Structure 1
Amino acid sequence: MTRREFTVADEYQYDHRSPVRWLASHILRYPVLLVTFLVTTFGMAGSQSMSAVMVGRAFDTVVQEAGVAALTGAALLVVAAYVGYGLFDIVNSMAIRVLAQRVERDARDELYLSLLSKSQTFHGRQRVGDLMARATNDVQQVNQFVSPALGMTTESTLTLVIPLITIATLNTNLLLAPVLFLTGLTFALRYHNQNLRPVAGQLRQRFGVMNAGLAETITGIEVVKGFAQEPAEEARFSENAQGYRDAFVREGEVNARYLPLLLYGVAFGLAFGHALLLFQQGAISVGQVITFMALLGTLRSPIRFLLTTSSVVQQSLASARRILEMILTETELDQNTGGIAKPMVG
């Protein structure tokens, strides 16, 4: 418990040990929404894989000349899989977006309560612009951490794992290229996030500095004009804006070196050649080749999503770190709960 000049009764206690634990404690406050999101995400990934399997079986039905009835049944199953995917997607989007809004509301509420508990000395030492950047932009970034970052990351992970399970049911020999690809993907994502983390933190810090400088200039605009300091203030703002711009460009340079898309292209070609080799050997059918390539095709979207979510996650963690730093800052004057309260007489 940090030292405070004032306390609020019945305040919800969150985990302040790290930014990740703090965000997790906010999310876990709403288990129903979280479970709904996870269940529907599993349903979406399963429906997507099932539709690919049904398309492959439809091709086998045509090749084997099994008849119109069998082809109609396979087509209806494909339609059912896509309808199920759509229904799961509607509930999934609603759950994760409501969860994101509630987490943002609670984070802002916690920050405001923390600021109310600080002493006037603390507030006098803060730069108003930086404080407002933490209370507005950084809190909004927490919303982005839940939706779309957390939602897309979870969906991408399941969309990478469930197709592998489905491929294993077709023929275990087909797992060679996908497993090699996922191994390379793991190392590539780790390398990408290691390079992105410091850049994202600097980006949030430069935004706070730019916002604070601009707020101070606008607040004291009469003094600036009275001493004819407009050129100096303009140069200072340009310098801060240039620093923010440079950090933004460095983030773009890191994202431009996103290797998983290259690895996916190589793996897709190798997997197709491997599938054709197994087909020539009679180990798999035409429908299984089509199913296999359709399942590999579903991996393209999550790999693209991970490029977007990696940047959002790192910026959100940097914002959470800045908010948590403000919440955990202690005041010099603690609340005196053991004080004496008596009517003044004399």
Structure 2
Amino acid sequence: MKDLAYLNKFFYKYRWRLIPGVIFVIISNIFGVLPAQVIRVAFDLVNENIGIYRLFSGFDRQDLSYRIFGYSVMLFGALVLVLALLRGIFLFFMRQTIILMSRHIEYDLKNEIYQHYQQLTMAFYRRNNTGDLMNRVTEDVSRVRMYVGPAIMYTINTIVLFILVIVVMVDVNMKLAIYSLLPLPVLAFAIYKVHNIINQRSEKIQQQLSKLSGFVQETFSGIRVIKAYGREDEVMRKFAGESEDYKKTSLDLIQVQALFYPVMLLLIGLSTIITIYAGGVEVMNGTITSGNIAEFIVYLNQLMFPVMSLGWVTSLVQRAAASQKRINEFLHTQPEILTEDGVRAELQGHIKFENVSFTYPDTGIKALSDVSFEVRPGQFLAIIGRTGSGKSTIANLLLRMYDATSGKIYIDGRAIQELDLKSYRSQAGFVPQEVFLFSDTIANNIAFGRTTTISGEVETAAREAAVYENILHFENGFETMIGERGITLSGGQKQRISIARALIKQPQLLVLDDCLSAVDTKTEEEILTNLGKNMRGKTSVIIAHRVSTIKNADIILVMEDGRIVEQGNHDSLMAQKGAYMSLYEKQLLEEQQT
């Protein structure tokens, strides 16, 4: 229960739903216990009236006693129906308070998890697969809701009913009550023994379900690759294997539950037999009436469903505990990048890297080593180098997706850690190397860069990104729906829509991470010309592989193995006749050959 203790704050928050729910549980069970006493009186009345009826055999009063007996039975029957109706009304109120409370808690918990996900850094998402993240916020939360709703409700109901029934039974005849309830300690011991088994197997089920969800999500995301390589059959076999593992894990839990329920029914039936036998002995001794036996049997039948539900409730609690443990693992994960009480300032675009080194925390790969450079507001910085030289890492550090392992990064004279991250990023535009578009219209994907957009801004941004004409050729224009991850668009179209999404922000700092690789030379020149007009007086950072893309930059960094090997503008780097000149001549030769 220590994992489920995290939910206590929600019980306190919704205490004015929980407390009335408990009150309704108590009232409904009072009306549930009273019919047994009415049945006891009715049963005794039947026995007495049978004797009176026989006593007046042959007399006129026999008919009168028969009518009185009939009216009495009808009265008691009507009273039992009224009590059942009242109990039903309060059971309805009980569900309306406790079950509705569970839905509110589910809503709050999902929002809390999702909000916490948003605060976690890129390193967290590199360590965890998407399927597992989704499973914890959907399937795990649903199982927790079954604990805060039905499990809590039936547990409270069982406790209250047990207390009321046992008090009444002891008040009638303690000896018979002890005999009737004798199998219950055995039942409690059985629940205790099964407790750990259910918990362990529930955890395995959730872990396997996360693996299955992750596999399916990854398969759907990479369906084009699967079909292109004709690997459908192999993927089906892997899915069947994962499903088989999930089935076996689920069956292991069901085997425990399948044994649990018959044992409970056996113990309940044993209680009934003991009650009839011991009650008959007490009736012969004259300590109770036959109506008391009927009353005790009704009580035992009332306890039957709560006792039967113990196994189900125990399973719900254990599965919820396993799910909440998984949820807590992420909720207790602290983001490596904290931005509380940061400085909110208008971004000027003055960037300074001072002896910056960085090692990826999840892989241990050293991406940057002792990198230093400075970019003044309004300058155009270009970064070029081979794959794996550390170019994208500079972009990630500049947007503070990670914090540098050592060294300092200054933005407008302040350490980047001092800035309010949300304010800083809102003034920057970023086009990542791996373009991501949402399953929405083209217009909404471009407008995503702004919280509010003015009419015409989307079209303007599309023109500046040289994608306007392409969009107009679509049947629905800007209202064209994009498939998941932009699957309906070409690589160049996705890149340009992503650039338009960054430009619509009118950012003070624009970072383009190799986002022109799928664009032809003519379109690239058009985009760069538009960027030059748009970003005049603002800072631009472009990461590229082609020298033609960046030769007009104010500062060019040539990266190799995480270090800056050359730094300067195009002319000064060509004069050095080093790595940059070698790269430029090599690309020039390739262009001439093509």
Q: If the length of structure 1 is used for normalisation, what is the TM-score?
A: 0.88
Q: Is the 8 A contact 1:200 1:318 kept in 2?
A: yes
Output one character per residue of 1:240-279: Cα deviation in whole Å (capped at 9) or x when no partner. 1111100111011001121322222222211211111111
- Alpha-carbon shift at residue 307 of structure 1 (Å): 2.4
| Count of equivalent residues | 330
- Alpha-carbon shift at residue 292 of structure 1 (Å): 1.1
C-alpha distance in structure 2 between counterparts of 1:340 and 1:140, whole Å: 39
Instruction: Report the counterpart of residue 128 of structure 2 in structure 1.
Output: 126
Instruction: Report the counterpart of residue 295 of structure 1 in structure 2.
Output: 299
Q: Is the 8 A contact 2:184 2:267 kept in 1?
A: no
- Alpha-carbon shift at residue 79 of structure 1 (Å): 3.1
Instruction: Report the counterpart of residue 327 of structure 2 in structure 1.
Output: 323
Q: Which amino acid aligns with 2:150?
A: P
**Which of 151, 166, 170 pairs up with 1:164?**
166
Q: Structure 1: 5+ residue runs without aligned partners?
A: 1-16
Q: Structure 2: 5+ residue runs without aligned partners?
A: 53-64, 351-376, 378-594
2:182 partner SS: helix
Instruction: Report the counterpart of residue 333 of structure 1 in structure 2.
Output: 337
Q: Is the 8 A contact 2:180 2:274 kept in 1?
A: no
Instruction: Report the counterpart of residue 114 of structure 2 in structure 1.
Output: 112
Matches within 5 A, 1:76-95: 76-95=78-97
Output one character per residue of 1:274-300: Cα deviation in whole Å (capped at 9) or x when no partner. 111111111101211111111111111
Bigger drift between 56-65 and 252-261 goes to 56-65
Instruction: Report the counterpart of residue 255 of structure 1 in structure 2.
Output: 257
Output one character per residue of 1:15-73: Cα deviation in whole Å (capped at 9) or x when no partner. xx942111222222111111111111111222111111111111112323397376565
Instruction: Report the counterpart of residue 230 of structure 1 in structure 2.
Output: 232
Is residue 55 from structure 1 mapped to residue 39 from structure 2 by the alignment?
A: yes
**Which protein is richer in helix relative to its size?**
1
C-alpha distance in structure 2 between counterparts of 1:143 and 1:338, whole Å: 37
Instruction: Report the counterpart of residue 39 of structure 1 in structure 2.
Output: 23
Q: Which amino acid aligns with 2:87?
A: Y
Instruction: Report the counterpart of residue 210 of structure 1 in structure 2.
Output: 212
Q: Which amino acid aligns with 1:131?
A: L
Is residue 102 from structure 1 mapped to residue 104 from structure 2 by the alignment?
A: yes
Bigger drift between 106-115 and 184-193 goes to 184-193
Instruction: Report the counterpart of residue 317 of structure 2 in structure 1.
Output: 313
C-alpha distance in structure 1 between counterparts of 2:180 and 2:152, whole Å: 24
Q: Which amino acid aligns with 1:307?
A: G
- Alpha-carbon shift at residue 342 of structure 1 (Å): 6.7
Output one character per residue of 1:180-232: Cα deviation in whole Å (capped at 9) or x when no partner. 22212211111122221101111111111101011111111222233333333
C-alpha distance in structure 1 between counterparts of 2:347 and 2:11, whole Å: 46
Q: Which amino acid aligns with 1:309?
A: V
Bigger drift between 221-230 and 280-289 goes to 221-230
Q: Is the 8 A contact 2:120 2:336 kept in 1?
A: no
Q: If the length of structure 2 is used for normalisation, what is the TM-score?
A: 0.53
C-alpha distance in structure 2 between counterparts of 1:343 and 1:248, whole Å: 55
Structure of higher CA gyration radius? 2
- Alpha-carbon shift at residue 103 of structure 1 (Å): 0.7
Instruction: Report the counterpart of residue 7 of structure 1 in structure 2.
Output: none
Distance 1:72 1:235, change over 3 A: closer
Q: Which amino acid aligns with 2:19?
A: V
Q: Which amino acid aligns with 1:203?
A: I
**Which of 24, 39, 46 pairs up with 2:8?**
24
Bigger drift between 274-283 and 20-29 goes to 20-29
- Alpha-carbon shift at residue 333 of structure 1 (Å): 2.2
- Alpha-carbon shift at residue 165 of structure 1 (Å): 1.1
C-alpha distance in structure 2 between counterparts of 1:123 and 1:186, whole Å: 44
Is residue 286 from structure 1 mapped to residue 290 from structure 2 by the alignment?
A: yes
Q: Is the 8 A contact 1:133 1:208 kept in 2?
A: yes
1:311 partner SS: helix
C-alpha distance in structure 1 between counterparts of 2:73 and 2:130, whole Å: 68
Output one character per residue of 1:129-186: Cα deviation in whole Å (capped at 9) or x when no partner. 1111111111122222223222122222322332111111211121122332221221
Q: Which amino acid aligns with 1:153?
A: T
Q: Which amino acid aligns with 2:25?
A: T
**Which of 138, 147, 170 pairs up with 1:136?**
138
- Alpha-carbon shift at residue 339 of structure 1 (Å): 5.2
C-alpha distance in structure 1 between counterparts of 2:227 and 2:127, whole Å: 25
Q: Is the 8 A contact 1:103 1:142 kept in 2?
A: no
By relative contact order (CA 8 Å, sep 6+), the higher-ranking structure is 1
- Alpha-carbon shift at residue 334 of structure 1 (Å): 2.6
Q: Is the 8 A contact 1:210 1:240 kept in 2?
A: yes
2:339 partner SS: coil
C-alpha distance in structure 1 between counterparts of 2:327 and 2:222, whole Å: 26
Instruction: Report the counterpart of residue 269 of structure 1 in structure 2.
Output: 273
Distance 1:267 1:62, change over 3 A: closer
Identity %: 23
- Alpha-carbon shift at residue 312 of structure 1 (Å): 1.9
1:298 partner SS: helix
2:230 partner SS: coil
Bigger drift between 81-90 and 276-285 goes to 81-90
